[in-house]
Amino acid sequence: DADVTQTPRNRITKTGKRIMLECSQTKGHDRMYWYRQDPGLGLQLIYYSFDVKDINKGEISDGYSVSRQAQAKFSLSLESAIPNQTALYFCATMAGATGELFFGEGSRLTVL
């Protein structure tokens, strides 16, 4: 089983719909991240959380919100999806000792 699990893996939705992407981890890491990947743009940070009570905006937080329900769970929401939010979304955890990021399998979102 994957250490960082994302659901759904694929989602097609319509403009204006609310979407939630979920992430859970079994690595026991405090730090969790949501990234967005677009071709040629690398990985852009949306939100990050250092623990349940510490949530911070990343480079591209507009149009997104997050919830850290527990140490192991970090959800990303699009309140009203728009087509330019079509992308591949990755959740990641960070090992505190090494700074290494562990990524989930990704959630591919298409907004029509």
Q: Which residues bind other proteins (CB under 8 A)?
A: 31, 35, 40-45, 48, 50, 59, 90, 94, 96, 98-106
Kindly state the smallest distance separating residue 78's Cβ from other proteins, in Å.
20
Dihedral sign of CA atoms 94, 99, 59, 108 in order: negative
Of 79 and 100, the one with the shorter C-beta distance to other proteins is 100
**What per-residue string of b and e applies to 56-79 under the rule 16 or more CB within 10 Å gives b?**
eebebeeebebebeeebebbbebe
Total Cβ atoms within 10 A of residue 102: 17
Question: What minimum distance in Å lies between the beta carbon of 57 and other proteins?
Answer: 12
Question: By C-beta, is 39 or 70 nearer to other proteins?
Answer: 39
Alpha carbons within 13 angstroms on the beta-carbon side of residue 93 total 24
What residues contact residue 97 under an 8 Å CB cut-off, 6+ apart?
none
C-beta closer to other proteins: residue 17 or 57: 57
* Minimal distance, residue 92 CB to other proteins, in Å: 8
State the nearest-atom distance from the C-beta of 75 to other proteins, in Å: 18
85 or 93: CB nearest other proteins:
93
